[in-house]
């Protein structure tokens, strides 16, 4: 798709009303009774590890964000704000200038983030508590992460305030896994807090440089940004998620754009990322009657673009896959059977201490496991931040 000029509808602002992308004539998020639902991130959790799904979605255990998660959130916030500017002002310098104000805004929402750069905490990535050693090259899960010095500040399974400041851990883990290495902030151990924060903000600016290497925002007028979209499948299953950006050409072609802040993908990782975009494509197709022309992944770290063009038949099959996945989730809930599924991603799991694969014992299953559900009660993204929603 080459056309990039579009007619933008009114922009939903962070914290504002949900996108009109919810199926017309069908129940929306607010008025729909509880029932099965899936988002890309929760689907990813269940496919990655059913026990991880349980910990996040049913037990709603808190998790600590990693530096990569927070940086990803920051970069997405900056890119979202960038398109608030008149087209001619969307320069690399303007984007860089947005980094510090957006960081301060994130910290104002979640003050605990500021503690992530305490000087005594060691390298920024590991202090977050979500990462330890990278997985072994043969896929053997690494040992439990070292506990970080700070308290958890996020609950990815919930809808609490803290969640607003971070991206989905599974997504970050998948990106890091795809790189075959951890993406840590390059700040020397023992560096002063200000230096560590400066390194972190500098790394965010570096990613924005990668964005400008692959796209010119002055030639774009996104139709929608950071938009919650949802639809029903068979009047039974609610599927929903946030898209980073939707471009609409004058001819009505849709292009779904997702920013990735990790490294260059391997083939397997591309499959996971495309799962996420197919999810969005299905929702858009069902709500707007148009199969998106292009699903685009923008890998900012290496300034790479991956385009994919789905077909209706493919999305139909994908729809059946989601139904089957939802049925598996419901069975697991009914039987209270969420088995651990160890993989390379265990290295980034916050819950190894409670996982039988690592000698732990899960907490008692909640007596009212449906309280606060549907099981996938969390839209993929809340308010400002971004989450990549991948499936292993
Ligand atoms: S440590 Fe691995 S197997 Fe255990 S819950 Fe986490 S992802 Fe699942």
Judged against a pLDDT cut of 60, whether residue 150 lies above it is answered with no
What digits encode the pLDDT tens for the residues 14-28?
Answer: 333 333 333 333 334
Residue among 57, 171, 339, 342 whose CB has most ligand 1 atoms within 8 A, to mutate = 342
Judged against a pLDDT cut of 80, whether residue 198 lies above it is answered with yes
Q: For all residues of the chain together, what is the average pLDDT?
A: 74
Nearest partner of 182 among 118, 124, 117, judged by Cα: 124
Residue ID of nearest Cα to ligand 1 atom 4 = 355
pLDDT given for residue 136 in this prediction: 33
Mean pLDDT computed over 242-259 = 95
Q: Which of 71-75, 211-215, 383-387 has the lowest average pLDDT?
A: 383-387
Mean pLDDT computed over 326-335 = 96
Q: How many CB atoms lie within 10 A of CB 371?
A: 9
Confirm or reject: Cβ of 340 under 6 Å from ligand 1: yes
Going by pLDDT thresholds of 50, 70 and 90, the confidence category of residue 256 is: very high
Q: What are phi and psi of 191, to 5 degrees?
A: -65, 155
Between residues 27 and 247, the one the model is more confident about: 247
Judged against a pLDDT cut of 70, whether residue 182 lies above it is answered with no
Confirm or reject: Cβ of 132 under 6 Å from ligand 1: no
Judged against a pLDDT cut of 50, whether residue 356 lies above it is answered with yes
CA 60 to CA 190: how far, in whole Å? 34
What digits encode the pLDDT tens for the residues 77-96?
Answer: 999 999 999 999 999 999 99
Mean pLDDT computed over 197-205 = 92
Centre of ligand 1 to C-alpha 48, Å, is: 9
Q: Which atom of ligand 1 is nearest to the CA of 340?
A: 3
Confirm or reject: Cβ of 302 under 6 Å from ligand 1: no
Between residues 162 and 344, the one the model is more confident about: 344
Give the H or E element holding residue 259: strand 254-260
Q: State whether the Cα torsion 199-202-206-208 is positive or negative.
A: positive
pLDDT given for residue 34 in this prediction: 66
Strand partners, 295: 256, 308
Judged against a pLDDT cut of 70, whether residue 390 lies above it is answered with no
Centre of ligand 1 to C-alpha 259, Å, is: 27
Judged against a pLDDT cut of 60, whether residue 37 lies above it is answered with yes
Confirm or reject: Cβ of 342 under 6 Å from ligand 1: yes
Confirm or reject: Cβ of 44 under 6 Å from ligand 1: no
3 in Cβ contact with 10 (< 8 Å): no
Q: Which of 48-62, 142-156, 168-182, 363-377 has the lowest average pLDDT?
A: 142-156
pLDDT given for residue 186 in this prediction: 53
Question: In the chain, what percentage of residues exceed pLDDT 70?
Answer: 64
Centre of ligand 1 to C-alpha 276, Å, is: 21
């Amino acid at each position: 798709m080459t056309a990039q000029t579009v007619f933008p509808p009114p922009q939903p602002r962070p914290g504002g009303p949900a996108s009109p992308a919810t199926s017309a004539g069908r129940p929306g998020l607010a008025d729909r009774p509880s029932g099965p639902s899936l988002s890309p991130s929760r689907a990813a959790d269940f496919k990655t590890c059913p026990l991880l799904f349980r910990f996040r979605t049913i037990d709603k255990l808190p998790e600590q964000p990693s530096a990569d998660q927070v940086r990803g959130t920051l970069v997405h916030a900056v890119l979202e704000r960038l398109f608030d500017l008149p087209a001619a002002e969307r320069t690399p310098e303007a984007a860089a200038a947005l980094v510090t104000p957006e960081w301060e805004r994130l910290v104002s929402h979640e003050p605990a983030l500021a503690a992530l750069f305490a000087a005594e905490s060691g390298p920024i990535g590991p202090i977050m508590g979500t990462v330890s050693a990278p997985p072994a090259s043969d896929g053997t899960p690494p040992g439990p992460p070292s506990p970080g010095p700070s308290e958890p500040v996020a609950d990815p399974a919930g809808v609490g305030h803290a969640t607003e400041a971070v991206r989905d851990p599974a997504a970050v883990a998948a990106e890091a896994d795809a790189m075959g290495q951890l993406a840590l902030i390059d700040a020397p151990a023992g560096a002063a807090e200000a230096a560590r924060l400066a390194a972190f903000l500098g790394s965010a600016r570096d990613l924005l440089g990668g964005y400008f290497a692959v796209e010119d925002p002055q030639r774009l007028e996104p139709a929608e940004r950071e938009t919650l979209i949802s639809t029903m499948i068979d009047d039974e299953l609610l599927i929903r998620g946030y898209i980073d950006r939707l471009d609409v050409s004058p001819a009505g072609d849709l292009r779904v754009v997702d920013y990735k802040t990790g490294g260059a993908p391997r083939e397997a990782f591309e499959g996971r990322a495309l799962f996420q975009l197919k999810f969005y494509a299905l929702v858009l197709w069902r709500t707007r009657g148009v199969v998106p022309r292009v699903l685009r992944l923008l890998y900012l770290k290496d300034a790479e673009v991956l385009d994919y063009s789905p077909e209706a038949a493919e999305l139909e099959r994908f729809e059946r896959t989601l139904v089957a996945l939802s049925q598996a989730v419901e069975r697991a809930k009914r039987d209270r059977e969420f088995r651990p599924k160890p993989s390379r991603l265990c290295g980034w799991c916050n819950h190894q201490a409670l996982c039988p694969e690592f000698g732990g014992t899960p907490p008692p299953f909640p007596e009212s496991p449906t309280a606060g559900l549907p099981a996938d009660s969390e839209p993929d993204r809340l308010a400002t931040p971004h989450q990549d929603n991948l499936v292993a």
